[in-house]
């Protein structure tokens, strides 16, 4: 019988530097009240100068490996989900592999915007389920502060830096990742994008002057509508695939893009507030790091216990979306 | 229920105001609705009346009457 695949270790790494809304008020035409009411964010962490995505990823991974009780040489694959790689080439996972000394691991990145962790989790779980690998590291890591235009108040107030990691390994058949659903709509590819720096618009003096290397969002309203609708839909589809209902869920752990999105989706999904894990107030949107960081917090504060049923759900650039139902 | 009645019921539910307080001239600014409240209301309208309201059209919606006239013209 095929074994199950589950999260056998989890860890996170957050920069120590806290930037509050009041700090932003000093150089942007914005206010703490506006940011809090529109986004739910009070503060975010920003990586210190010189700290890069693979640094945060490796720190989170080391904690997850310690909890799983495995050493670096037991990791057979490293998947880094990120929108902010150390460099365009090679994969950030290769830098992480070197930092961990995970000499037996294959290393690759997954690019699925804020859905990256869910995509990485599903990709990695296939190798464990098939029996090809025993231990796979899946890491969501971002240093978004370096791809933001800090003069654009509509974008830079939303994001933060951080990393979260899990070790996937074999578990009992009836626990771990029970089902998943992934989706994408490439017709909306320009909705959330960094326009230049790839081969369509290679980096040049002009692209730099035009600010085309910063992350941009074409329509906040359309993004909001997409996110609220897809969150409930994909969670329901993943629950259906596992033969479960929303009443079975102990916790929903959504991508932390905006508290207003989470709350609108929660109401439509008819879940009480205490069953949704929210920490955006302290970290902002950490893209692919948000879900594992929120999950790790819920584990450490005692809310999320072994045996609980959780839905992890993400949505983001691509557009992409995905949900996984996990018996933790 | 007519369109005006349905619109008032949706606005009441979305924004947490009494239906009796709403008239055709009530503006969303008076109801303390911010831009995301309007987007949530638009989502509810789109689903109730099975239509799509573009960003540009949303910009022009300022009052309950604007909503009713838009729905009457497009539903």
DSSP secondary structure string, A177-215? EEEEEEEE-GGGTTSEE--SSSSSS---HHHHHTTTTS-
Residues from chain A contacting residue B40 (CB–CB below 8 Å) = 228, 264
For B64, the token pair is 């309950």
Interface of B with A in 5-34 (CB under 8 A): 34
Q: Report domain extents, chain B.
A: 3-74
3-state secondary structure of A26: coil
Q: How many CA atoms lie within 13 A of A129 on its CB side?
A: 17
The radius of gyration of chain A's CA atoms, rounded to the nearest angstrom, is: 19
Residue of A37, A225, A265 for testing the chain B interface, max B β-carbons within 10 Å:
A225
What is the arithmetic mean of pLDDT over A218-238? Answer: 93
Query: What are the backbone angles phi and psi of residue A70, rounded to the nearest 5°?
Result: -120, 155
Tens-place pLDDT, residues B29-66 = 888 888 899 999 999 999 999 999 988 888 888 999 99
Q: Which of A221, A228, A229 sits opposite B55 (nearest CB)?
A: A221
A4-174 and A178-327: identical CATH topology: yes
Give pTM, 2 decimals.
0.94
Q: Which two tokens stand for residue A223?
A: 């993004």
- A148 phi, psi to nearest 5 deg: -105, 145
CB contact under 8 A, B39 and A219: no
3-state DSSP of A78-124 = EEEECCCCCCCCCCHHHHHHHHHCCCCCEEEEECCHHHHHHHHHHHH
The active-site residue out of B2, B34, B55, B56 is B34
Tens of pLDDT along A122-157? 999 999 999 999 999 999 999 999 999 999 999 999
The CATH homologous superfamily to which domain B3-74 belongs is ACP-like (1.10.1200.10)
Is B35 in contact with A38 (Cβ distance < 8 A)? yes
Q: What does CATH list as the number for A178-327?
A: 3.40.47.10
Q: Which residues of A are catalytic?
A: 114, 255, 285
CATH architecture of A4-174: 3-Layer(aba) Sandwich (3.40)
Cα(B62)–Cα(B70) distance, rounded to whole angstroms?
11
Q: What is the mean pLDDT of residues A299-319?
A: 96
A81-90, A101-110, B12-21: range with lowest mean pLDDT: B12-21
Pairwise CA distance, residues A294 & A61, whole Å: 15
Q: How far apart are CA B48 and CA B28, in angstroms?
A: 19
Q: With a cut of 0.90, is the ipTM above it?
A: no
Contact B43 A229 (CB under 8 A): yes
The answer to whether B43 contacts A225, with C-beta atoms less than 8 Å apart, is yes
């Amino acid at each position: 019988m095929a074994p199950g695949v589950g999260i056998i270790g989890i860890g996170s790494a957050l920069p120590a530097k806290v930037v509050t809304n009041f700090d932003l008020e000093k150089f942007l035409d914005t206010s703490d009240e506006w940011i809090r009411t529109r986004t739910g964010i009070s503060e975010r962490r920003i990586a210190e100068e010189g700290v890069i995505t693979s640094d945060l990823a490796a720190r989170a991974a080391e904690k997850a490996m310690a909890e799983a009780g495995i050493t670096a040489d037991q990791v057979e694959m490293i998947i880094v989900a990120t929108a902010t790689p150390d460099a365009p080439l090679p994969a950030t996972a290769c830098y992480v592999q070197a930092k961990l000394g995970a000499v037996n691991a294959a290393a690759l990145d997954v690019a699925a915007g804020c859905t990256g962790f869910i995509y990485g989790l599903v990709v990695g779980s296939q190798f464990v389920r098939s029996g090809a690998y025993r231990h796979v590291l899946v890491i969501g890591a971002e240093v978004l502060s370096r791809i933001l235009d800090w003069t654009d108040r509509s974008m830079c107030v939303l994001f933060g830096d951080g990393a979260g990691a899990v070790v996937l390994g074999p578990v009992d058949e009836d626990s771990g990742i029970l089902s998943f659903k992934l989706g994408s709509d490439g017709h909306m590819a320009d909705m959330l994008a960094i326009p230049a720096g790839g081969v369509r618009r290679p980096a040049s003096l002009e692209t730099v002057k035009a600010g085309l290397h910063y992350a941009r969002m074409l329509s906040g309203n359309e993004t909001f509508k997409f996110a609220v609708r897809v969150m409930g839909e994909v969670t329901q589809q993943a629950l259906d695939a596992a033969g479960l209902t929303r009443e079975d869920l102990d916790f929903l752990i959504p991508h932390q893009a905006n508290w207003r999105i989470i709350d609108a989706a929660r109401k439509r999904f008819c879940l009480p507030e205490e069953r949704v894990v929210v920490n955006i107030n302290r970290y902002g949107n950490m893209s692919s790091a948000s879900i594992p960081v929120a999950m790790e917090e819920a584990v450490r504060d005692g809310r999320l216990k072994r045996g609980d049923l959780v839905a992890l759900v993400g949505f983001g650039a691509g557009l992409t979306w995905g949900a996984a139902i996990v018996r933790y | 229920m007519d369109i005006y009645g349905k619109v008032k019921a949706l606005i009441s539910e979305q924004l947490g105001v009494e239906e009796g307080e709403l008239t055709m001239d009530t503006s969303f600014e008076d109801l303390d609705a911010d831009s995301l409240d309007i987007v949530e209301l638009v989502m509810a309208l789109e689903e109730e009346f099975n239509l799509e309201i573009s960003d540009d059209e949303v910009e022009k919606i300022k009052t309950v009457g604007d909503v009713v006239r838009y729905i009457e013209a497009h539903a």
